[in-house]
A = this chain, B = another copy of it.
Amino acid sequence: MSMKKPTTIKIPKGFFFSTAEAAIKKPGRKDFGLIFSKVESAVAGTFTTNTVKAAPVRICRQKIRSGRGQAIVVNSGNANACTGRQGLKDARDIVSTVSDQLGISSSLTYICSTGVIGALLPMQRIIPAVGPLAGGIGKASLEDIAGAIMTTDTFPKMASRQIKINNRQCIMAGVCKGAGMIAPNMATMLCFIITDIAVEKKALHASLKSAVNKSFNRITIDGDMSTNDTALIMANGLAGNQPLTGSSTDFSVFQKALDELTYELSKLIVRDGEGATKLVEILIKNAHTDAEAQKAALAIANSSLVKTAIYGNDANWGRIMAALGYSKAKFDPDKTDIFFNRTQVVKKGVMNNRDKEASEAIKTKELKITADLHAGSASAKVLTCDLTEDYIRINAEYRT
């Protein structure tokens, strides 16, 4: 799927970037990145709920308790997952080497990895690359970071927002990567958000958690949840505003900007789903409970049969009814309405004789499927994509 040209990305005050080549999976690209704030920052994070957690995730989860940080080092090509004690040691060695070069405490450096699971990091190539990486601070752009963390992504993913807090111009920017193993919660998804807004630790965490729940936790490509999912936010306060707490007047402005930013980034991930040709929004209306609304939306979004029908431009609503039926949401099939964009294809559980309009609707590159269950007043929205031969090709050949 082709990329939508991003609008110019604004960078918050005091953040600098660097990338280097560590030839982790293979030589020829910058696969090692560093985000650095010139001052210590508040940091918050959310992580995969997979029982199998990669070494960098285990380390970040410990560090994040302090709520403080100044640098994030990241590599693609190797997830450093299922690598046991050696994997933990390797991640700690990278953190301490980077911190030494930057002249900051190890406790302020976070680490993330993405790529193949189960292989040890090539430390003999990574450690020598730390010098050039730390030495190159300020020589790379946020787009370079977005490029360094790509795996099967086909385009770099960035977004930014400019907002006023306490009458000061503030900036919030983010990069992320996705492409495969994307499912609630979070995905083989890395997301780094940086801002010059001053935010108290507790408010920062609550705000990130809320934003992630409405964005990265509501997207699915293949239903597979990764071992490495991480979203980190660094707020260095250089905009000079009064530090925001949950009760600040402008907190809602901050939350809204973060919600928008993470939603925009999560949409880019789905748009770039492995092999995807279409972006699909699943909206469940009038479910009995929120949990059931989400189950129903995910059942449709993860159905291989629904996704292949969409790919094939087949307005096969029967597969949607079947997915709703096994979703464990309570509803009466005979009351259910289904829409493809604005075309109602199912009325009270049976076809509405709109085949021609439905066939047109399903050809759109951005399809919205709405199922109204008439069982309550809860709703849920999930973003997904179609399932194509290219998904198979990419994943059958990914490691070899």
Interface residues of A (CB under 8 A from B): 49-53, 79, 81-84, 86-87, 116-119, 180-181, 183, 222-227, 302-305, 308-309, 311-314, 316-319, 321-326, 329-331, 333-334, 346, 348-351, 387-389, 391-393, 395-400
Q: Known contacts being A51-B324, A226-B322, is A395 close to B309, with CB within 8 Å?
A: yes
- Residues of chain B contacted by A399 (CB below 8 angstroms): 309, 314, 316
**Do B84 and A309 touch across chains, with their CB atoms under 8 A apart?**
no
What is the total number of copies of this protein in its complex? 2
Q: Which residues of B contact A49 (CB under 8 A)?
A: 326
Contact in complex: A50, B326 (CB < 8 Å) = yes
Q: Whole-angstrom distance between the alpha carbons of A87 and B319 in the complex?
A: 17
* B84 lies within 8 A of A348 (CB): yes
The answer, among B51, B312, B317, B331, for a CB contact under 8 Å with A118, is: B317
B398 pairs with A389, CB closer than 8 A: no
CA gap between A313 and B55 in the complex, in Å? 27
Give chain B residues whose Cβ lies under 8 Å from the Cβ of A321: 52, 81-82, 117-118, 227
Closest to A304 in B: B222
Interchain residue pairs with CB less than 8 A apart (10): A51-B326, A82-B318, A117-B316, A222-B303, A224-B323, A225-B325, A304-B395, A308-B392, A312-B396, A389-B393
Complex Cα spacing A50 to B330, Å? 11
Report the bound CA distance from A398 to B322 in whole Å: 16
Which of B117, B305, B312, B324 touches A222 (beta carbons < 8 Å)?
Answer: B305
Determine which residue in A50, A304, A311 has the highest number of CB atoms from chain B within 10 A of its CB, and name it: A304
